[in-house]
Chain A
């Protein structure tokens, strides 16, 4: 099993809908998780970090962490065409410091 796994997509949602992005992880990562957004040709931009079980909300974004099931998700409410990008799930490596990235999920929001 890869350390961090994501469905590559693309995930297509209509404008205004909730986009749900999922990520699973193995025992070989630590308990710090991050969601990044990367537009084509640009560098990744940090959206959310989450370290504890449960939900963490920031504006239209909600990150969810379930340590028992080893998954992390990102919900985007009221999706906009400008949210169309690749979303990268990342976890700190087993020994800390380095990030381990999933392959990324392509999100397409259609107007």
Chain B
């Protein structure tokens, strides 16, 4: 399968600060990237879908001004959690989906995730 990386893997920050998480597709071009959040013992929750060069589409209930998503290239998307609060503490996971012409078209590959703890 294709490889997606995330950085950092773990971050601890103070309430009120902003945190940026990077998601990179290492061996394929991800025309679409997705950002999920997962609380302990719960299902994955899709936060937003981003297409390269376009504004992200946010799921209902997800604040776009709080969770800023940028998908500037076919291999990089970033999620910035602005003015983080303890309730934002969660496991954030990105995934990438290849273009129509890629070997793994139609399949989503997940990054290893970023565990955010807001104090």
Residues of A whose CB lies within 8 Å of any CB of B are 32, 34, 36, 41-46, 49, 51, 88, 92, 97-99, 101, 103-104
Contact = CB atoms under 8 A, between A and B. Distances in A.
Interface residues of B, number: 18
Interface stretch (B12-20, B42-50, B65-73, B75-83): B42-50
Contacts of B111: 43
A46 B107 contact: yes
Q: Does more than half of chain B's interface fall in helix, strand or loop, or is it mixed?
A: strand
A104 B45 CA distance: 13
A32 B112 contact: no
A98 B34 contact: yes
Given A43-B93, A97-B97, A103 B108 contact: no
Interface of B: 1, 32, 34, 43-44, 46, 49, 91, 93, 97, 106-113
